[in-house]
Structures are given as structure tokens and as C-alpha cells.
Structure 1
Amino acid sequence: MQQNVRLLVRADDAGSCWASNQGCLKACVDGIARSVEVMMPCAWVTDAATLLSDHPEIDVGIHLTLSSEWEAVKWRPLSSAPGLVDRHGFFLPLLQERYGDDRPSLNGRNWNIDEVAAEFRAQVELGVQLFPRASHISCHMTRHFADFDPRLGEIVAGLCAEFGLKDDPFGHGLPRFSPYPAHPRDSQARISSFVEALGGLAPGTHIFIDHPAVDCGELAALGHPGYEDVRADRVSCLETLVSPEVQREIERLGIELIGYKDL
């Protein structure tokens, strides 16, 4: 039996689509997830608020967002931020340049820190209105915005202090649990890998982050160059998080599942 092992399982990207809302909820209600991160600029954020309002036991994080990565669906800032968007007014696909991905990035623009501060504030203000039980702030497409620019870390810290939220512990050194590789996108392979990896967790608190979603046509339409198999990836993630085999092993090892509020 594992001794003094705690695991925070975080389901990211609620608000981005219906499939993600349903997947994040199911991962918590029927599985091992304990926290859901919600993207405020996205079209399905009010649906996420409705779903999660019926589940006070689920921890909620405000998932600050400055990029819009999918090809088929885009989102815009909540504030006036002409320096953060493309010619159509949407967030750029990337925060920073990535090898093999030539799409525009915010890092490649002459962005304005005052616009970022105003946008972060708008997202947090909406977040605490829609999710009054929100406990923390996390960051979309980056470990922490402080890694993008230290000044953004200061802005996030100030908003946390002002609104009584915690800054994402993942951004401050909580060790990340990586129980399965990115490939194959196969549920049984991921379940088996997850079960095996649980036995290797050292004493302490660990975090696992992934993006569960239910299978539907909407999910099949999502993707971008280099990540065309979103459907297989996110459905297999959900099937792993709700797996009875995974849950039995967690119980057998005596691993404590926690949310951010337990930190």
C-alpha cells in the first residue's frame, strides 16, 4: 500500500465545447478527476456553469486563456485587445513558436501588457460570477504565464490576492504525474499504463492533467496541423479516468484523491 500519496486529477478545457463540458463532468462524477478548469472566452462557458452548479463537490479553476488553437472554431478576448488578436479579432493559435508549427504566435507579436492585464481581469471577473465556488487560477497552453513573461505572473498573483483565489500550484512546482505516453491513443493501453504507474508514485502530492471529452461529431471536427486525432486522444483520456480498473488500483494502494481546496 502506498503511504501518504495524494493525487490531484485535473480535467482541462471545459467551456471550449459541449464534448469537453460533458467529459470533464463525467470524469469527476464517475471517475477520479476532482478539479475542472474552465475557459472563460469560449462559447460553452455558460453551459459549463449550469452543469457544475449542480455539483458543489467539484473544484473549479478559472483557466486563463490567450490563444485559440483549433482550426474549425475560434474564440475572442472578453476585453478590447487589438494587440492580442488576428485580423478577424480572434486570439492567435499559439502563445509561443513551436517546432514544426508555423502558425502565428503571441510571442511573435508586439503585444501590450496592459491589454493582457485587462483581459485577465475580465476573465477572472466573469469566472467568479459564473463559478462563485472557483478556488484557483490556472493557465491554458502553458505551465504558467509567468513562464511566458514574469510580469504576467505578477498580474496573475495580484488577481489571485484580490479575488481570494489560489495561484495554480502546478505552476509552482507540484510534481506532474505522467502515467501514459501521448501515443497510442488507445484506451486499454492507457488504462494499463496508468495502473502500472500508480504503483511508482512517491510519497507526497502529485498532479495529473489531461483533457477528457465525450465522443461526438463535434469533437471529431476539432484539431489543427499536427494534432488531427483529437477525438481519439480525448475520448481515450475520459475512458481512462472513469476506468473501474484504475479506480480499484487507487483504492488498493490507498492513494488519496484531492482537489485544489485540499492543498
Structure 2
Amino acid sequence: MIHADDAGLSESENRATIECLKKGLVSSYSIMVPCRGFQEIALFAKENPTYDHGIHLTLTCEWHGHRFGPVSPSEEVASLVDENGHFYKTRQELKEHAKPDEVRKELNAQLEMALEFGLRPSHIDSHMYSVGANPEFFEIYRELGKQYGLPVFINKKLLKDVGLQPDKVLKQNDFVVEHAHLATFEHFKKGHLKTFYLDAIENLPIGLNVLLVHPAPDNAEMKAITVNHPNFGSKWRQMDYETLTSEELRATLVENNVRLVSWKEISKIQQVQNRV
């Protein structure tokens, strides 16, 4: 699965995501409900239901030049926001301040807003994997999947990266994606993002693999959003965008007999397994 995060972040992010979907090289994407581009990408999702989309649950806002906050009234989730009513920039700040009941309230509100708009998401995932900032938040994330009948994206490496120990938070019946591929800042600094993606595809282990990407152009809008934040910044996203619209990537997928899948397919498999 080639999965595009952060749809809804901006108009530019939306346009790039849509182009990558239409070219057939992105097989799933997820939508950020609290962001200014939500309605645009949500309308696209409604009008193009064949493209697999999930909800990118959002509890943090890492940007300096593009601030956003909860869809709930700020006074009802006061532990999630700074003095200006915006989400905290880091998982650590979220961990230090957020109350679990307010995390639950806000994540429920984001899912309800998406459903009320008419979306039919295939899965739930998490921006910056902030649901892993605290074991209680992660349990809420898991419970939301059960509440809404949707698979949640769980990966052991991502859990470790955000400070959780998989053996302590995972349960026997959790659906875990064993192989998730996410480029690092070192790959970006060396200009090796395309190389990372092509190498990952050429050396995929057997089974389900998820390649996480963030396509967008390096234009004025994205530069303003990601100012002073090169990690997953506009130049990074431009590299992703160029790779994901390239014939070289398509050829690499074909040459390595890689079949792209979506969360819709994963969900159907889970439903069958649950009935057995």
C-alpha cells in the first residue's frame, strides 16, 4: 500500500494527493479534519468513492506558520490547546498537558464531523502518531476503531518511535501492520527520498507493506506552511510528489510484481477473519 498522509492540510496538499491517486500510484490516503483544506478534499472523497480514504486523527500541529486547533470548542478540550487555542506542536507537550477524556472527546468529534459530511472512511490513522504519546491515548485510538467498526493503523516501529513499548500496549487481537516504510530526515538531507522509496519497493518483505508518503508541491503556500520546518517540509513533499507521479516508480512496481492494496481490502479480510 502506498499511503498519502495529510490530505486536507492545504489546497496544495489536496491537489497533489488527488493527482497521485488519479495516476494510480497512491492506493490510499487519509484526511485531516481540523485543517483548512478539509471541505475541499472531503468533497472530492464523496464524489470519488472508489479512492480509498481514512481519517487522519489530529492532536498536534507542528507548523510555525500554519496553526490550527480542535474541531470541538476549545473550552471543552482546554488541555489539548495552547494559549492561542491551537494544538501543541509536539507529542511531548501533548503528553504533558492532555487529559484522556478530552482526547477522546476531540477524536470522536473529528470522526463525527467526517461522517456528518458524508464520508465513508476505510480506516483510522494518526497525524504524527500522536495517539502514541500516552498509553491511555493509544487505548482510546483502539477503542474508536471498535466503536466505528474501522481498522486502525498500528505498527510496532512507530509505537517505539513515539516512546511506547509494543509488548505492553498491544493486545492479542490487534491487527498490526508489520512492515511500514517511512523515510527519515537523513534521506531527505542527502536528496535520497526517491532512492529510499525505490529501494523499499525492490526489497519488500513478503506480506502487507505500507509506504507512508506526503506529496505536495514546493510552492508559496507550502513554503509558508512549513517555514523553518524542513522535516516533512515543502521541499520534502515536492520530492515525494515527483516520485509518486513518475514512470520510474510505476515501472519499479511492475518489475517487482508489487500489487497495490487499500485499507478497504484489509478491512474486508478482517471482517471475514472475525466471522471465522
TM-score normalised by the shorter chain: which range applies?
0.7 to 0.9
> Of 231, 235, 247, which residue of structure 2 is paired with 1:232?
235
**Shift in CA distance, 34/94, structure 1 to aligned 2, threshold 3 Å:** same
Q: Deviations for 1:45-78, whole angstroms, at most 9, x for unmatched residues?
A: 0011122223222111111111111111111111
**Shift in CA distance, 21/226, structure 1 to aligned 2, threshold 3 Å:** closer
Q: Deviations for 1:20-66, whole angstroms, at most 9, x for unmatched residues?
A: 11111112111411111111111110011122223222111111111
Q: CA RMSD in A?
A: 2.1
> Of 96, 104, 113, which residue of structure 2 is paired with 1:108?
96
What residue number does 1:59 align with?
A: 52
Q: What count of residue pairs does the alignment treat as equivalent?
A: 243
What residue number does 1:156 align with?
A: 141
* 8 Å contact kept, 1:59–1:133: no
Identity of aligned residues (%): 28
Read off the aligned partner of 2:134 and give its amino acid letter.
Answer: D
Read off the aligned partner of 1:108 and give its amino acid letter.
Answer: E
* 8 Å contact kept, 1:38–1:61: yes
* 8 Å contact kept, 2:56–2:127: yes
What residue number does 1:29 align with?
A: 22
**Shift in CA distance, 179/158, structure 1 to aligned 2, threshold 3 Å:** closer
State the distance in 1 between where 2:27 and 2:58 align: 21
What residue number does 2:168 align with?
A: none
State the distance in 2 between where 1:242 and 1:95 align: 32
Asked if 1:81 corresponds to 2:86, the answer is no
What residue number does 2:261 align with?
A: 258
What residue number does 1:102 align with?
A: none
State the distance in 2 between where 1:208 and 1:175 align: 9
Structure 1: 5+ residue runs without aligned partners?
A: 1-7, 97-104
Read off the aligned partner of 1:38 and give its amino acid letter.
Answer: I
What residue number does 1:39 align with?
A: 32
* 8 Å contact kept, 1:16–1:42: yes
**Shift in CA distance, 131/175, structure 1 to aligned 2, threshold 3 Å:** farther
Q: Deviations for 1:244-263, whole angstroms, at most 9, x for unmatched residues?
A: 01101211221100111122
- Range moving further from structure 2, 209-218 or 150-159: 150-159
State the distance in 2 between where 1:69 and 1:91 align: 8
Select the structure with the greater relative contact order (CA < 8 A; seq sep ≥ 6).
1
State the distance in 2 between where 1:160 and 1:140 align: 16
- Give 1 or 2: higher strand fraction: 1
What residue number does 1:249 align with?
A: 252
**Shift in CA distance, 87/162, structure 1 to aligned 2, threshold 3 Å:** same
* 8 Å contact kept, 1:222–1:228: no
State the distance in 2 between where 1:131 and 1:185 align: 42
- Give 1 or 2: higher helix fraction: 2
Q: TM-score, normalised by structure 2?
A: 0.81
Asked if 1:166 corresponds to 2:151, the answer is yes
State the distance in 2 between where 1:26 and 1:18 align: 12
1:131 is displaced (CA, Å) by 4.9
Read off the aligned partner of 1:51 and give its amino acid letter.
Answer: F
Q: Deviations for 1:157-177, whole angstroms, at most 9, x for unmatched residues?
A: 222222221111446343113
